[in-house]
């Protein structure tokens, strides 16, 4: 699919650390993917929006968005579904 260098996985760090990391990757690559699961999905959307809105003049935009779910094992051993999101952020004027 895509190399791991063009994927930003969203976790528990502050939003701006992900924004900074994404902008560094976008300086070297034409597009990146922001991925998150479960409760981190809101943070992934925030990161993508910050990049697209605050750097509009720099030519970055949100591309395709994929949503889905994964089956995971919970701590008590039961299987459960967890929502996922993948947001493409790309340069518009390469």
CATH superfamily ID and name for 4-91: Alba-like domain (3.30.110.20)
Rounded mean pLDDT of the chain?
A: 89
pLDDT at 58: 76
What ranges do the domains of the chain cover?
4-91
Ramachandran category for residue 53: left, alpha or beta (phi over 0 → left; psi -120 to 50 → alpha)? alpha
Residue 30 has pLDDT above 60, yes or no: yes
Of all residues in the chain, the percent with pLDDT exceeding 70 is: 94
Residue 48 has pLDDT above 90, yes or no: yes
Q: How confident is the model at residue 4 (pLDDT cuts 50, 70, 90)?
A: low
How distant, in Å, are the alpha carbons of 8, 52, 70 from that of 38? 15, 23, 10
pLDDT at 84: 96
More reliable by pLDDT, 61 or 4:
61
């Amino acid at each position: 699919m895509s190399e791991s260098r063009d994927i930003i996985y969203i976790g528990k760090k502050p939003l701006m650390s992900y924004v900074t990391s994404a902008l560094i990757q976008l300086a070297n690559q034409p597009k990146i993917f922001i991925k998150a699961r479960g409760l981190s999905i809101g943070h992934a959307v925030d990161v993508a929006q910050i990049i697209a809105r605050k750097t509009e003049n720099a030519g970055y935009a949100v591309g395709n968005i994929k949503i889905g779910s994964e089956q995971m094992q919970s701590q008590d051993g039961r299987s459960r579904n967890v929502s996922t999101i993948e947001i493409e952020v790309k340069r518009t004027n390469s």
